[in-house]
Structure 1
């Protein structure tokens, strides 16, 4: 059986994004009055009153820089929410953000998209990840929101 783990944006990358995001813009903090923003630093939804920021993030580019892959045209950047200040990171190892429709996008070790799958029901989420990682060519999976296509988090084999 394949085991995998959800990976938040790491602390060193968060520090960089809080200075300049992947589009070269400085972070702008705001108080989240309503709550509910999907935070990529700790993989939970924001609480009302928390200081958060919306920054541009290029997840595949950053992964490729670590692995030597060349994602070519698959390199992209998009908006992600994070705490405006350091946070404790994820609490527990449960898969986050599984209650709404999600797309699981599979990538090869060279950074190419191998396919994707729409997961509609929360109970289908873990089996869909198991299915994705059953393919030995899958190096990582991006979990994305359907409504905007935004990156939520990365999943890798353990």
Structure 2
């Protein structure tokens, strides 16, 4: 049986984004008074009082640079929340299942060359939704995105 791994923004990329995001702007830290922001560094929602930053992130661009893929027009960037300071990342003991449950999501599939192979609206990100997303062997990775804003939430790969 294939398993799938939800991947946060890698720590080395977070360090770069905190210095200057993928739009070239420095990150600005704020204290999250309400909590609830989806943090891409540790794949959980922020808690009231935590210091967070909203930064521009180009996940496909960074993946393509590391793999030699050429995503062309699919090379986009968008806003993501991260802790303003380094954090330990996801806690597997605490964070069972897939991150940010309880909402419809878009599951977008990408080929190894960076092209979009399609996408689907899913009621929940679960093993079945990911099996369906990866049913085509040419799918190299999947991006899970928020429906309401289209923001990147996390990347999934076969484990």
TM-score, with length taken from structure 1: 0.96
Counterpart CA distance in 2 for 1:106 and 1:97 is 19
State the 1:94 CA deviation.
2.5
- In structure 2, the residue matched to 1:88 is 88
Counterpart CA distance in 2 for 1:143 and 1:15 is 22
- In structure 2, the residue matched to 1:118 is 121
Number of aligned residues: 156
Counterpart CA distance in 2 for 1:2 and 1:67 is 22
Counterpart CA distance in 2 for 1:102 and 1:76 is 18
State the 1:102 CA deviation.
0.3
Counterpart CA distance in 1 for 2:140 and 2:101 is 21
Is the partner of 2:139 in helix, strand or coil?
A: coil
Matches within 5 A, 1:46-85: 46-85=46-85
Counterpart CA distance in 2 for 1:70 and 1:20 is 23
Counterpart CA distance in 1 for 2:42 and 2:77 is 20
Counterpart CA distance in 2 for 1:119 and 1:76 is 22
Q: 1:63-115: per-residue Cα shift (whole Å, max 9, x none)?
A: 00110000000000000000000001001152101211100000000000001
- In structure 2, the residue matched to 1:39 is 39
Deviation >3 Å, runs of 4+: none
- In structure 2, the residue matched to 1:137 is 138
State the 1:145 CA deviation.
0.1
Computed over aligned residues only, the root mean square deviation of the Cα atoms, in angstroms, reads: 1.0
Counterpart CA distance in 1 for 2:38 and 2:127 is 19
Is the partner of 2:99 in helix, strand or coil?
A: coil
- In structure 1, the residue matched to 2:4 is 4
